[in-house]
Amino acid sequence: MTTFFSCAKFGTNELGLQSKMTVYAAIAGMLALMGGIVYYASLDNPQLEQLEISLDNVSVRDVNKLDNTAKLEVTFMVKNPSDKTFTIPLITYELFADGKSLGSGQYSTEDISMPGRAVFYSGVEIPLDNTFVLAKSNVDGEVYESVLNDQVSDFSAKGVITAETSWSIIEKEFETG
């Protein structure tokens, strides 16, 4: 009887080792698969980095004299010179008027699924509009009045633009003007 239990015990240990090796092989296979997916996704990055962004227009849309705020319409032109199709979920930027900071703004379509966003096919240039709220309390009074009276000779922006494909996402710093 003892011999039977000894063999059964020995067989269980061997089977346990074989099961462990199967689990280790499965884990190694999954890690290799995940590494392959990350590598494949990163192949898009050089083409996404080619995107071009410029500040096309800044105009006063609405002035609230009670709150001393103004809504500016900021238009960025985004161009896709590459062969890779992408969308733009986010542009974060700081807006300047004649070199003086007006504050920070953000264009965002992150809450919209990819099929609902503007699609940048190869060679396409699309304007992206954003509302920027300028508060008189955040800037010099003279700068605020010059923006309202259309006396700014040069608007510029600097920030980060995010481009996204179904496999990849990049963030690219930019400076306009």
- What the block records as the tokens of 176 is 């306009």
**Can you tell me the distance from the alpha carbon of 157 to that of 104, in angstroms, rounded to the nearest whole number?**
9
CATH match for 45-175 among 3.40.50.300, 3.20.20.210, 2.60.40.1820, 3.30.460.20 = 2.60.40.1820
The pLDDT of residue 93 is 97
- Local structure of residue 153 (DSSP, 8 states): S
Specify the amino acid at residue 36.
G
**Can you tell me the distance from the alpha carbon of 177 to that of 162, in angstroms, rounded to the nearest whole number?**
19
- Local structure of residue 22 (DSSP, 8 states): H
The pLDDT of residue 50 is 93
Residue 7 has pLDDT above 90, yes or no: no
Average pLDDT over residues 34-61: 86
Residue 2 has pLDDT above 90, yes or no: no
The pLDDT of residue 14 is 55
Secondary structure class of 23 (helix, strand, coil): helix
Half-sphere exposure of 19 (CA within 13 A, CB side): 6
